[in-house]
Amino acid sequence: MLKELMTRYPQLTICQEQIEAAAKAMIACYEAGGKILICGNGGSCSDSDHIVGELMKGFLKKRPLSQELKAKMKASTELVDDELLSRLQGGLPAIALPAIPALNSAFCNDVDPELVYAQPLMGLGRPGDILIAISTSGNSKNVFGAVKVAKALGLTVIGLTGSTGGKLKAHADIPICVPETETYKIQELHLPVYHYLCAATEAHFYQE
């Protein structure tokens, strides 16, 4: 899978080691019962939602529930049956921090817009979780505010940024600096990177 990514996007070879490390970190996070939190602005905000969509339902695999889980759920309540359980899919816990508009708009208005992603991280982040911080410049103030809090709370920070990397390159545990400098070109390379991360993580936990 990683080889295919490098074949299709040879320019990403320069950050292959970091991409592979990020996939391993995501797998380890989920194996330990953690979750992934994501933030970004503009197109990177949309990328945050996109990543959640790939992790929380079937991406390349159907992710049927295990027989053990089905039996446990059926034993817990009469409200679920085989038909309902056959339609559900396994999910890998992920939350897009920008997708909490009531909290975020209130905090921006009442307190500090530069900490708009740091605040939900305070409530949701736990040691061992991962923050995927997306900033094409690496210097987005609200994204870096979340990075500060993530580091203080014991989260692993995966940074998605451009070739210069900015503050994100210097402070992320795993900085993935794709080799472009223009915003839209950086975002074009972020897409295959996070698609690979989601696919590799899914493949580890779901065999079918």
| Across 73-78, average pLDDT | 96
What is the distance, to the nearest Å, from the Cα of residue 40 to the centroid of all Cα atoms in its chain?
11
Contact indicator for 116, 129 with CB cutoff of 8 Å: no
Burial state string for 10-26 with b = 16 or more CB within 10 A and e = fewer than 16 = eebeebeebbbbbbebb
pLDDT, one tens digit per residue, over 35-57 is 999 999 999 999 999 999 999 99
Helices and strands (H, E) in the chain, number of each type? 10, 5
Distance CA 7, CA 53 (A): 25
CATH superfamily entry for domain 2-63+91-205: Glucose-6-phosphate isomerase like protein; domain 1 (3.40.50.10490)
The pLDDT of residue 207 is: 82
pLDDT, one tens digit per residue, over 148-190 is 999 999 999 999 999 999 999 999 999 999 999 999 999 999 9
For residue 132, give the nearest of 34, 40, 13, 58 by alpha carbon. 40
Distance CA 79, CA 49 (A): 30
Distance CA 60, CA 72 (A): 26
Contact indicator for 189, 176 with CB cutoff of 8 Å: no
- Cα distances (angstroms) measured from residue 162 to each of 15, 64, 100, 110, 167: 11, 37, 26, 32, 11
Residue with tokens 């508009």: 101
Helix boundaries (H) for 66-206 = 67-76, 82-87, 101-110, 118-124, 141-153, 166-171, 183-205
- Average model confidence (pLDDT) across the chain: 97
Has residue 75 got a pLDDT over 70?
A: yes
Question: What does pTM read for this prediction?
Answer: 0.96
pLDDT, one tens digit per residue, over 88-107 is 999 999 999 999 999 999 99
For residue 93, the tally of other CB atoms under 10 A from its CB is: 15
Has residue 81 got a pLDDT over 90?
A: yes
pLDDT, one tens digit per residue, over 192-203 is 999 999 999 999
The pLDDT of residue 164 is: 95
- Please, which pLDDT band fits residue 71 given cuts at 50, 70 and 90? very high
Residue with tokens 């503009």: 42
- Cα distances (angstroms) measured from residue 196 to each of 16, 48, 154: 11, 15, 25
| Across 138-147, average pLDDT | 97
* Percent of the chain residues past pLDDT 90, beyond the cut: 99
Q: Where are the domains of the chain?
A: 2-63+91-205
Q: According to the 3-state scheme, what is the secondary structure of 38-64?
A: EECCCHHHHHHHHHHHHHHCCCCCCCE
Collapsing DSSP to helix, strand or coil, 160 comes out as: strand
pLDDT, one tens digit per residue, over 7-20 is 999 999 999 999 99
The pLDDT of residue 208 is: 67
